[in-house]
Every structure is written in structure tokens, then in C-alpha cells.
Structure 1
Amino acid sequence: MIQQQNSGFGHESTAGEVLAGVDLSGKLAVVTGGYSGLGLETTRALTNAGAHVVVPARRPQTAAEALGGIADVDRLDLGDLNSVDDFTERFLATGRGIDIIINNAGIMACPETRVGPGWEAQFATNHLGHHALVNRLLPALNDNARVVAVASSGHFLSGIRWDDPHFTTGYDKWEAYGQAKTANALFALHLDRLLPTGSHAYAVHPGSILTPLQRHVPHDTQSELGWITPDGSLPTGFKTPEQGAATAVWAATSPYLDDHGGAYCQDCDLARPAEDDDMLTGGVKPWARDRASAARLWALSAALTGLGA
């Protein structure tokens, strides 16, 4: 595991433990995908700490049933920029300010899928949709707001494919996922430079957790990868969803990060550089921390979405 620095939390900390004693009364958080897996635990923890949470969801009825009234639900399909526009227009019309945005929603290793103008679905949903969402919501950010991009050690699998980010030839579902997770990290790195003084953006690796995110990975493949154990116990090094949500809520609230804008975090702490290719150990690869790449990705995303130029 990554050696702790000074946060006081670690690999086994839960979201509830991280927010114990934290008063978020009067704060508003937007959590994409905040009704399933890590997102649901994130929403619960923020709500229990007093925050009012808005959960934009592609399936609002399903989201409302899962949340049981603890958060507001609205419709948002991150793979459809018109849907992003509609959601943000509805939200901005309320005049409410935002203290926390957690870009949690995502898809992993799906079959080749095209959305919008032919964009590769993982890059579009995990990155471009969130890029558009945050840029549209920037006018609503309160002072000292935080934006958290949920990345993953999946970024080990690929940097940005500058010559063909949409995999117009030779689609590889894992490389596409890796590119999207690298994009999440680079997005936070560059966004932090653009936010007003006092507001920050961070990327987080939540850890290895079994959630509905793995729905596109066959059971046999999960078993071969060691994600599933014969007796159904949690694989070594894996986290529960409650533990997996901890780093995101820590990044969204901890004063420890005030002087570390744009940081990549893991196990409720600053991540160390990855020493090898062991994704379970984690850390962060250099291509996910490169400021020139972050600026280049921002420019590409702005050109594709028409937002953030």
C-alpha cells in the first residue's frame, strides 16, 4: 500500500470515518452516479455529515429508488451533451451555489460503443461529459469549492492516444478505459489551475472495489484476474464500497489538501509515484501528472465539447 503521510487516514478508512466530526450543514454537493456502488456510499456519507446532495443520473427513477429520499435526483446522460446542457440549465436556474462536485459516474471495459458524434463511449462518458458538466457549472461554484474526479489505477493501462483518442481503428476496451482514467487525472490537474483562489480540484484512486462498474467484465475474467475468490470473500487488497468512497470525500473536505491543488490521491492521502506496474498497489504514473499533457487535453476537450476554451 501507499505509505501514509500526515492525513491520519489510510487504506481501510471508511467514508463515514473520514467525515466523522465534519459539519457540512448548508453545503451543496453534486455527485454524478451517486446512487450505485461507490457513488451511493459517497452520497450517504455526505448526507450524514449534513450536506444537501444532488445526484444527476441517466436513470433517475432507478436512482430515486436506490437513494430512498436522501438526495435530490435529476436526469443527466454524460454521453449526451444536450443532456448535460439541459441538466445544467435546470440547475443554474435555481440560483443555488455548489460547494462540492464529485465526478464519480463512469463505465469500464464496455464493448465498442459510439455516442454523440461518434465518440468512443468510455472517453466520452468518463471524461468529456464531466468536462462539459463542470465547465457549465463553474458559475455556480461557491468560494472554496472543490471538484473531485474519480480516476483509478486503470490509468496504468494507457496515456492519452493523441493520434486517435476515439479508437476509430483497433478498439481495445481496456486501453480505452485506461485512457479515460488518465483523462480524469489530467482534467483535475489542469482545472485546478483555472479555479479561483481558494477553490481546488483533485483526482482520486478509490482502490480496488467490486461494484456494478464491473458489469461488462465476464465472471470468468473477473475470476482469472483474482477479483472473485472461490469462497466469496473480499480479495486481498480490495476494499469495501464504504472504504472505496473514503478518498473522494476526504479530497472533497480535508483542509490537509489546501496546499496541494491538483493532487492525485489514494488511500486518503497524497499518492506516491508508481514504482512498478502493480495496479493493486497503485500510485500514479508520470503521464497522469504531466502539466503539458493536461493543458493539451483541456484544449482538445474544449474543441470537442465547445466548453472550457
Structure 2
Amino acid sequence: MRVVQQPLLTGLGPAMSATEVVRDADLTGRVAVVTGGSSGLGLETARALASSGASVHVPAVDPVAARAALSGIDKVDVWPIDLADEASVKAFANTFLDRRARLDILVLNAGIMAKPLFRDTHGHEGHFSTNFLGHYQLTALLWPALLAARTSRVIVMSSRAHQMSDVDFEDIDFVRRPYDKWMAYGQSKTANALYAVALDRRGRANGVRAFSVHPGMIVTPGIRHLSLSEFDAVGALEPDGSPVINPAADKKTPGQGAATTVWCATSPLLNSLGGVYCENCDIASVETESPFGVRPYAIDPERAERLWRWSAMMTGLDIEIT
């Protein structure tokens, strides 16, 4: 079955905020995990889900800083995790499963962007390890709780940066080709979109649906290490250094950027759908030239399965298709 990648024409638009998306939602009794949920997009996602009654668990690299950032938001717990450390991912998953029988919403939001070359303990390129492979491991380990919820959703943070690079299956880890931080970032975001396709295929018979998301161009603490020339190249900053906010041009606040994630996590319009790439609170169109939409290679089922096989081999974790 191929992905049905066609806009629903929701009319919600790019200026919609995460809190507006869940204004009438009742998530009482629902359990959510939001990686990277203590800053930027993740913080706004956690805030919106908690405001509608969900119990939100936030795994973070720095739990002390995360608790400070999330102070004042009810129904949020913080846990330690390092997505580039296999043992850390397993420790969080085991602790969560010991305390919670079900997981209704899993938001794979944490990530890094355009950093100099670094590798995890297994030698995998850092963007691919943190943005994708750590989340692959986490989801596989939390799979029993997602199944126990009977109707659950996994939202994977992709990006329009997927247009920079397909997954290079011949050299994912930049062993033979020259390293380029933007190509590495783009490859990881394509992997996340493909992952949603393969994960949805494995979960839909049991009520687990997966979606990938482009949030928009958001200036958050996670990308402030970029140079001024890199910001200037995309017109991201005002003369005074503050972020440009123009949702129609894809330049959004963190609250607006989190809207599509929260929409994918909660919208009844998606009850019978999955494996799709979304933007601006709608399913995106398939595009080959436009800066908007999703490239065909990022939702290709065959490439998604190839990525899944590679990931299962690298991690020793797999989920069978039922």
C-alpha cells in the first residue's frame, strides 16, 4: 500500500498555534512522551498537550535545566536521556515501561542541526544518530506501550531540509564522502520522513499511526550557534537580531511551529490516515521543484523499507508487520 500523500484542505493555515489546535481537545487520561520537550518546539508541544489534560513525559539530556524550563506546567515529568547513547535510551524506556502501561502520543522532536562532524559510540554520524537512529531505538523499545493504548500516534520531526539530501545508503555515515553539515542534517530529516512511512506500515493494523512533520523555519536556542551569514542567507533575523515572524513565508514562532505536531497528535481528521508528511496543519502535497511540500523520495515505501532494514541491522531492534 502506497502513502496517500494528498492535502485535506483543512484551512487552518500557517499562523495557527499549538494552543489553538488543542483549544477544544480533551486529552484527560492520555499519556504522551515528547523528546526535546523542554525548549523551542518541544516545549510548546508539551505545553499544549498538558494544557488539554495529557500526562506528559519529557526525556532530556539535562533534566535540571528541563525542569526549570517546564516549571509552572502541570502534569509534566522529566527524565534523563541521551539519544546518541544506546544505554541511555534503553534506561529511559525501561523506566517508563515500569511506570506506565500505555503510551498514546509519542513525539520524536529532539534533534540537532548543522553541527561539525561528530560520531556516536558506534561510529555513526551524529545527526543521523541523534535525529533518527536514537528515536528508532526509543520507539521500538516503547512499542508495547504504544500497542497497549490501542489507538496511538507517533509524530516524527522532519523538516523542509529533507529537500537538501536523500539518504545515501552507500555512505550514510560520511566515511567515504566529504562531510557537509547541511547534507548530514538534510539526510537525517529525510530519514525521519521515511521512518514514519515504514513505522505506520507496521503499526496501523493495531491502531498505531505515524506522521512526519515540517514545523516551519523557527529560530530556537538549538540553532543559535549558526553564523550570522547563515541566518542572513535565509532572511531569518531582523536588523536588531530578533527572529523574523512571517508565517506565510514559513517563518514562525515556536508556538506556530509546534501547531502541526500537535495537530498530527490529536486531529480526528487523521483517524484513518498515517505515514504522511505534514505541514501547516495539513497533509503536504508532493512536489519536485517547489520549496513547499514533500519530495517523492522522502515518502517512497521501498526506500522506507530499505532504511528500516538498515536500522534493524544496526540496532538489533525490529518490529514485525502484522
TM range (shorter): over 0.9
Q: 1: distance between equivalents of 2:49 and 2:165?
A: 32
| CA deviation after TM superposition for structure 1 residue 95, in Å | 3.6
Q: Is the 8 A contact 2:36 2:109 kept in 1?
A: yes
Q: 2: distance between equivalents of 1:276 and 1:229?
A: 28
Q: Which residue of 1 aligns with 2:300?
A: 290
Q: Please state whether the residue corresponding to 1:248 is helix, strand or coil.
A: helix
| CA deviation after TM superposition for structure 1 residue 31, in Å | 0.1
Deviating beyond 2 angstroms after TM superposition, the runs of 4 or more aligned structure 1 residues are 3-8, 196-199
Alignment map for 1:1-309 (pairs within 5 Å): 5-68=8-71, 70=73, 71-141=76-146, 142-169=149-176, 170-195=178-203, 196-231=205-240, 232=242, 234-236=244-246, 237=249, 238-278=251-291, 282-308=292-318
1:207 partner letter: G
| CA deviation after TM superposition for structure 1 residue 235, in Å | 4.9
Q: 1: distance between equivalents of 2:89 and 2:230?
A: 34
Q: Which moved more, 1:205-214 or 1:144-153?
A: 205-214
| CA deviation after TM superposition for structure 1 residue 213, in Å | 2.6
| CA deviation after TM superposition for structure 1 residue 93, in Å | 1.1
| CA deviation after TM superposition for structure 1 residue 9, in Å | 1.2
Q: Is the 8 A contact 1:100 1:252 kept in 2?
A: yes
| Aligned positions, number | 304
| CA deviation after TM superposition for structure 1 residue 298, in Å | 0.4
Q: Scaled by the length of structure 2, what TM-score is found?
A: 0.91
**RMSD across aligned positions (CA):** 1.5
User: Which runs of no fewer than 5 residues in structure 1 stay unpaired?
Assistant: none
Q: Scaled by the length of structure 1, what TM-score is found?
A: 0.95
| CA deviation after TM superposition for structure 1 residue 116, in Å | 1.7
Q: Please state whether the residue corresponding to 1:155 is helix, strand or coil.
A: helix
1:229 partner letter: E
Q: Is the 8 A contact 2:97 2:142 kept in 1?
A: yes
| CA deviation after TM superposition for structure 1 residue 219, in Å | 2.2
Aligned residues with identical type, % of pairs: 48
Q: 2: distance between equivalents of 1:16 and 1:229?
A: 26
2:35 partner letter: T
Deviations 1:122-146 (A, max 9, x none): 0000000000000000001111100
| CA deviation after TM superposition for structure 1 residue 198, in Å | 2.5
